[in-house]
Amino acid sequence: MDREEILFTKEHSWARIEDEDTVSIGLSEFAVEELGEVTFVELPSIGEEVSQMEVIASVESLRDTMEVYSPVSGEIVEVNEMLIDNPSLLSEDPYGDGWIAIIRMHDPDELQRLMPGEEYEDYLEALKAEIEEHDEEI
């Protein structure tokens, strides 16, 4: 999987353009690693209308629960039902078999608000440095 093709949010959701008006979405590898072993994924409903940055799914692990924010506005046209019986796919292959949903976008221009992979990597480095600095203060 070429991460160059994937766009990210600061909330660790990702979008990959599938064609001119649809994207597949999921949760970043960083987020999944922070969660640990995924035990349950609550998927959105097909036909559901979502807004950019609206919570559309949740992922549970032995450690925590994380909400998944939609990187774009649109209609949920497909969900990854494999995650119902095999939620660990999210941990094993977050950018492949661990995708969460496919959205038909209302406004493809919203993709411009997302970060390309390299920018997201820089964001993660800054975030990790901030966390380390905070931990040192405690």
* Alpha helices by DSSP H, 42-105: 82-85, 89-92
- pTM for this predicted structure: 0.90
Q: What is the pLDDT of residues 31-88, one digit of tens each?
A: 999 999 999 999 999 999 999 999 999 999 999 999 999 999 999 999 999 999 999 9
Please report the pLDDT score of residue 138 as a whole number: 64
What is 3-137's CATH topology?
Answer: OB fold (Dihydrolipoamide Acetyltransferase, E2P) (2.40.50)
Q: How confident is the model at residue 1 (pLDDT cuts 50, 70, 90)?
A: very low
Which residues make Cβ contacts (< 8 Å) with residue 68, sequence separation at least 6? 13, 25, 26, 27, 55, 56, 57, 58, 59, 100
Query: Residues 105-124: what's their mean pLDDT?
Result: 96
Domain ranges in the chain?
3-137
Is 134 within 8 Å of 126 (Cβ atoms)? no
